[in-house]
Structure 1
């Protein structure tokens, strides 16, 4: 993992936790793409689109091999040229040429990833990983050049006038270089390299053990009464024969797509406890000592603390703040505490109500336990809000939802989305769409949509959705944004169109909001286009903003139509959805706040991990901490993935997004004002990408610093009044 992806900086903690200083930071999520002309890349047709139906593994492997060598060679030429200049023009001599030189490499990388996720028979995992690793190493060269790094530092120190975007690009290169240790002298460079190698080793051990202990658990069910209420997709997943899902036996595993719905639908409390204890005790060593991961937690923490110290930071969490909007650990903890004062009392009240409901419904436990909550929460939701997922699903045929989503975005952002036929794709189900400005006859961007699950040749993922950048907007390289959206929705049948569950509708809106930030970016440089260079804790904001439109009843007039009679979603069903959205919101938010605080504390202090858990758990959770509960021992997101000292980003991005959407909500009765807000959102969040610091983008849009009030209101959370 790139050093630059594990960090942040921004909020000044004055009277408000949301007062934002003007600082830099960035994150790179998708390959940044530049110019890619047909004569430069055999994978591209004359119309500028990939020739997907003729691309082979051999094409991609050959192209990536040639392009990486050329890119690395060209970077050396830039270094030689810069070294010979007394005062190089950093953009003319370095950054602009890199924009153009990296284009073929970045395009091939994006095409390969699209093939891998869209049709793995055309791009098997082993082949893609080889391409990915080779492209990643080559791309890193531009951020690991001491000559380029020194030249950019001198440019920034010269105080020469740069545009806001140019300054962000230059600071991106400078920060990448710093986090890669280019400013280190003497033995420190070797120490950093040794540290990172050890860190990778420890992470691999943690990951290996976690995967093995997860894979080893398997519980077979032979009683058909237990699975009688299970949804059909869960039965298919756990049945011995997926073609006969109602015929046992059924095998329950710890895979998220199995254990999460199992805990919601299993009526047997003892079976729920069995799965729960297997889940939270992974890596604890209570069972097989060979799979203990607690020692790796401490070693990973030590190595990251050492890494931060080598680079000049007090803690790894402080280093993480270098590339986050939050800016400091103190600001993060202030935000968590502000939200906790609302979420914790709500959690207590919600659990009291849930326990009372369960007792009335036959529950015989002395108290509500963690393994009871998912099951009784689902039952209460049905009873209290008349929420039947299947009934709602009938109102959301995919074609109707898509058309309504496009119509909403066209109205808000003054664009036109049009399907283009006869485009080369990786599967017959894939469609291609052009995006037009209202005043333009030529498309300004384009995207592929691959909506359906295909068991044989498509990667199945827990979240069932991917947004893949193939080409970024760049004025320097004269390129238009191009991307792919890949989902795993159930395909239509001869009798029934694809009917989306509400969580599928939400996923579609969220991913399309994220895609719009890529597609409508208008930056000069691909280095800061779309999601590139956006701070990690706000990278999901645009997705959340578009999802908030599902809390607006008028949206359902666009996206709903019963597949049999074409009726729109009734108002009472809309109210039910809103109640479900707020149901146990305090409980769910408290859990996220706890995990965020745990992550931040683990990377801010030297205290033993279990002592940190014991300290924080009662602050955020209303349940006693079970003696076998060792959940940090399988917290892969913060130990082997990219969320170290960044898990709070899930909550932070929701706070920012809710505040942004509230600008639309405040003028909801005035169409002209709604369109004005949409225009402002288009010209800030969708256009500026990573070319402007997110605190400045928020100010440009909202005219002030952020507040958590909108999120709390949308969740129905109010502070419990103090007793008289």
Structure 2
């Protein structure tokens, strides 16, 4: 169903999108055997008993709970059909809260195991569990009886709270996107046909790109080629991982390997070879069986058909139904405003980069796209003496985590305490309770799994995950539970694990999202935490928290040199802040190009290449190469669920920068800073998806969002 494909946020789970290895997918049985032992998912203290959770009982539980949930939804429909709707929240939504709790918990635990210890939850098993749970949970949004009851209540003048109105609106939007407004016969024949074809085309598009990506590799034996590679890249590419410094090394197009090649490989021919291999995936210049141009056009066509059938002018217009931005034109106008200052900055950055490269021996004419990352890295190191190892020594994990917790405790009036003797999926996993001063019982809790385990945990571009294990529900008495899972280097030879600044920033971002999940004060899980938060606002709280790393007081609270205990010196702090802004114009233009391209691809019928040619020079300072067919491998929008939504990344950064500017304006007044912190908690962190983020922002800032703060934070705002 269409709405289900969109439901990374709307259904209360932020669904992980990733490529997975081909193999047999284990189908979840419709009826599983009941475990002979007690329920392994919860102990007397309310926490999951991970020691007893297995693939088998997860599969059995999800099968049983899915059937029970679907049957419960049908029973609710029968009851309101027979008795009418006197109190929709008592008759429908309270019942759904009780029905959905066990299903959501099993789903959340399965996802946690999958990301935290894949030997306990292999990919194929999790994918099957995920699909079955998603299918079951979607049944409440595609139920005609519930949808009609919701529409009737919305049309009446009965008194409703803001949260109740938001839940009703959510079900109304989901019902429309599921096609419940069109004729039943037309829906079953046409809409389902479109959606089935679309699903197949997207799968085929991803498969072709996966094959193209895996087919390309280049083995090098010259140590000069890889001498500057990060340690993790050497270990990942060495033929003998026990001796990563000896080689030979097999280089591939996997994102973190590709980035190492482009940033550290001194051989221009090798960089060109990798760049063209990545950008030509799906093109006519390669294997004809792997071309994706026709798939791109078919996906676009099917999405237009679906949007038209549901009453929207374009697929992009349909996408805006679940976004903070009010319209496609608002997003485009915002991008154009940013471009006015970002593009001239990019031009100046490329000019300076070419001058620097020439001074360092570059004699091959103009810089090309496959040169930029390499010379940019060298220029950044030259300008800011950016030695990652030196900085890393100032960010021991224990100091960073303790400082982060203390900062959040002060800002948001909470206490974070480790609970001993809890079970997890690994001995390194810790559990923390979150308290408020006036309550003796915890209001929420989260697991923290910091270290990489190469044979057990997924590692995608060194990122981490925040998993919502359980949503808050006052109806059923459930408190929020979550898991933070990362791939930081484990302690070695008695020395604490240390983080790069990038990893520290990632930890702050994920913890900001975590706070929104944990500190929600809503009544219903449907709108608790990140549930029902519009796509383009999901990352806002995480981005707000990461802005605080530009505050020296916060930096002092998290840094402590691993040998001397010294705080990060002022001059090194300034280097970090300035290096973050290095070539910000280029980066912002690249992001805006992809965002605008995505909207154009889903707003017009023009051939994809014509759109690229029309847009390219407005965002890029380089010529479009004939081998560059990047839309043919734009997996996020054509293989995953980001179609007509890719702009969300920029939008959330813009909103976050504007929110942080409220703190920055009173940065020298601690009392006012704490006042704004309380407002931030009482709005963005507490309200979750119970109020539209546009309304929350206007109440917080007293005006509509502005792109000025984002430009200023990137160093692009003109004086």
Deviations 1:682-707 (A, max 9, x none): 00000000000001110221121111
In the superposition, relative to structure 1, how do residues 26 and 707 fare at CA in structure 2: closer, same or farther (>3 Å)?
farther
Distance in 1 (alpha carbons) for counterparts of 2:38 and 2:296: 47
Q: CA RMSD in A?
A: 1.5
1:621 alignment partner in structure 2? 620
Distance in 2 (alpha carbons) for counterparts of 1:690 and 1:601: 28
What's the offset of the Cα at 1:464?
2.4
Instruction: Report SS of the residue matched to 1:468.
Output: strand
Matches within 5 A, 1:63-82: 63-82=61-80
Distance in 2 (alpha carbons) for counterparts of 1:338 and 1:187: 46
- Between the two proteins, the alignment pairs up a number of residues equal to 697
Asked if 1:321 corresponds to 2:305, the answer is: no
What's the offset of the Cα at 1:261?
1.6
1:588 alignment partner in structure 2? 587
Deviations 1:494-544 (A, max 9, x none): 232111011100000000000000000110000000100000011000000
2:177 alignment partner in structure 1? 179
Deviations 1:49-76 (A, max 9, x none): 0000121112212211221121111112
What's the offset of the Cα at 1:627?
0.9
2:345 alignment partner in structure 1? 346
What's the offset of the Cα at 1:466?
0.8
What's the offset of the Cα at 1:718?
2.9
Asked if 1:142 corresponds to 2:140, the answer is: yes
Asked if 1:202 corresponds to 2:201, the answer is: yes
Task: Judge conservation of contact 2:4–2:138 (CA < 8 Å) in 1.
Answer: no
1:425 alignment partner in structure 2? 424
Asked if 1:280 corresponds to 2:264, the answer is: no
What's the offset of the Cα at 1:266?
0.4
In the superposition, relative to structure 1, how do residues 249 and 524 fare at CA in structure 2: closer, same or farther (>3 Å)?
same
What's the offset of the Cα at 1:396?
0.3
Instruction: Report SS of the residue matched to 2:370.
Output: coil
1:699 alignment partner in structure 2? 698
2:13 aligned to 29, 47, 54, which one? Answer: 29
Distance in 2 (alpha carbons) for counterparts of 1:372 and 1:328: 37
Distance in 2 (alpha carbons) for counterparts of 1:279 and 1:182: 42
Instruction: Report SS of the residue matched to 1:426.
Output: coil
Instruction: Report SS of the residue matched to 1:443.
Output: coil
What's the offset of the Cα at 1:187?
4.0
Instruction: Report SS of the residue matched to 1:449.
Output: strand
In the superposition, relative to structure 1, how do residues 105 and 28 fare at CA in structure 2: closer, same or farther (>3 Å)?
closer
Task: Judge conservation of contact 2:40–2:52 (CA < 8 Å) in 1.
Answer: no
1:13 alignment partner in structure 2? none
Deviations 1:269-288 (A, max 9, x none): 11101100101000012021
Asked if 1:512 corresponds to 2:496, the answer is: no
Instruction: Report SS of the residue matched to 2:256.
Output: helix
Distance in 2 (alpha carbons) for counterparts of 1:713 and 1:477: 45
What's the offset of the Cα at 1:385?
0.9
1:531 alignment partner in structure 2? 530
Distance in 1 (alpha carbons) for counterparts of 2:303 and 2:338: 28
RCO (CA 8 Å, sep 6+): is it higher in 1 or 2?
1
Distance in 2 (alpha carbons) for counterparts of 1:669 and 1:324: 35
In the superposition, relative to structure 1, how do residues 469 and 280 fare at CA in structure 2: closer, same or farther (>3 Å)?
same
Instruction: Report SS of the residue matched to 1:717.
Output: coil
Matches within 5 A, 1:428-439: 428-439=427-438
1:3 alignment partner in structure 2? 3
- Is the deviation greater in 84-93 or in 667-676? 84-93
2:159 alignment partner in structure 1? 161
Task: Judge conservation of contact 1:41–1:104 (CA < 8 Å) in 2.
Answer: no
Structure 1: where are the runs of 5+ without partners?
9-24, 32-38
Distance in 2 (alpha carbons) for counterparts of 1:623 and 1:67: 55
1:17 alignment partner in structure 2? none
Matches within 5 A, 1:464-475: 464-475=463-474
Distance in 2 (alpha carbons) for counterparts of 1:113 and 1:61: 12
2:23 alignment partner in structure 1? none
Instruction: Report SS of the residue matched to 1:300.
Output: helix
Matches within 5 A, 1:235-634: 235-634=234-633
What's the offset of the Cα at 1:246?
1.2
What TM-score do the two structures reach when normalised by structure 2?
A: 0.95
Instruction: Report SS of the residue matched to 2:226.
Output: coil
Task: Judge conservation of contact 1:453–1:488 (CA < 8 Å) in 2.
Answer: yes
Distance in 2 (alpha carbons) for counterparts of 1:4 and 1:46: 34
Task: Judge conservation of contact 1:7–1:317 (CA < 8 Å) in 2.
Answer: no
Instruction: Report SS of the residue matched to 1:62.
Output: helix
Asked if 1:128 corresponds to 2:112, the answer is: no
Instruction: Report SS of the residue matched to 2:163.
Output: helix
